[in-house]
A and B are shown apart, each in its own frame.
Chain A
């Protein structure tokens, strides 16, 4: 069983749509990362959160620790948002490393 599950696996949207990507995890965590991976392979950190909600531009990330669930929202989506979005969790009590990654959600935004 995967410790980090993301849904959907693939998502196609029209430009301007509101997008939600979900992440559920089965372990106790001290933090959760949302990462963006572009077709060239590079990974960019979008958010790290351990409670509540964070916002950066058109991106919003929320986490519900009790339900072991996090969501990444993109408002007014744009073709340049097309990428793989990865949820990764840091196991509670783990070291600074040892992130456990989800398989990613591949987002394609059509103009």
Chain B
């Protein structure tokens, strides 16, 4: 069964460093998402991406964050200068393009645990 994959599973970085989290969405999916979950808190939406551009982003997704689809399979989240409060689990998800007005189910990757020291 196709699945969303993410690498690395755990990333440790120093405050101020740049990190890139990688995701490989399900191959025929066209919508991609990033979410984060700070330890002990609920999952929060960061950004959605479709047709090589950001479709929607939350207040959390500030100028320190960027997303890219560098090739036909990868979808990346970059944090330019990490802060302590960026420590969280980051989930990638993908969904098919639904027909007009149809919402499609999102499939989640296993997550990348980011620890900023």
Contact of B108 among A31, A35, A94, A102 (CB under 8 A): A35
Verify A42–B110 contact, CB threshold 8 A.
yes
Segment touching A, from B14-22, B48-56, B68-76, B77-85:
B48-56
> B111 — nearest CB in chain A belongs to which residue?
A41
Q: Give the contacts of A57-111 with B (CB-CB under 8 A).
A: 86, 88, 90, 94-104
**Could you tell me which A residues sit within 8 Å of B by CB distance?**
30-31, 33, 35, 40-45, 48, 50, 86, 88, 90, 94-104
Interface residue total, chain B, C-beta cutoff 8 A? 29
Residues B48 and A33 in contact, CB atoms below 8 Å apart: no
Closest to B106 in A: A45
Cβ B50 vs Cβ A96 within 8 A = yes
In the complex, which residue of chain B has the Cβ closest to the Cβ of A46?
B105
Q: Is A96's CB under 8 angstroms from B55's CB?
A: yes
- In chain A, what residue has the closest Cβ to B104? A96
Residues from chain B with Cβ under 8 Å of A45 in the complex:
105-108
Asked if A41 contacts B103 (CB within 8 A), the reply is no
Q: CB within 8 A of A98: which of B48, B89, B95, B109?
A: B48
Can you list 27 A-B contacts with CB-CB less than 8 angstroms, sorted by A residue number?
Answer: A33-B106, A41-B37, A41-B89, A41-B110, A41-B111, A41-B113, A43-B43, A43-B91, A44-B108, A45-B107, A50-B103, A86-B42, A95-B48, A95-B55, A97-B31, A97-B33, A97-B45, A97-B47, A97-B55, A97-B56, A97-B106, A98-B45, A98-B58, A100-B45, A101-B42, A101-B44, A102-B42
Interface centre among B91, B95, B104, B105 (most CB of A within 10 A): B105
Instruction: Give Cα A86–Cα B93 distance, bound, in whole angstroms.
Output: 15
Contact with A along B5-38 (1 / 0, CB 8 A): 0000000000000000000000000010101010
In Å, the complex CA distance between A45 and B98 comes to: 17
- A35-B42 Cα distance, complex, nearest whole Å: 12
State A88–B105 Cα separation when bound (angstroms).
11
Chain A residues within an 8 Å CB radius of B103:
30-31, 48, 50, 90, 96
Chain A nearest CB from B90 CB (Å) reads: 10
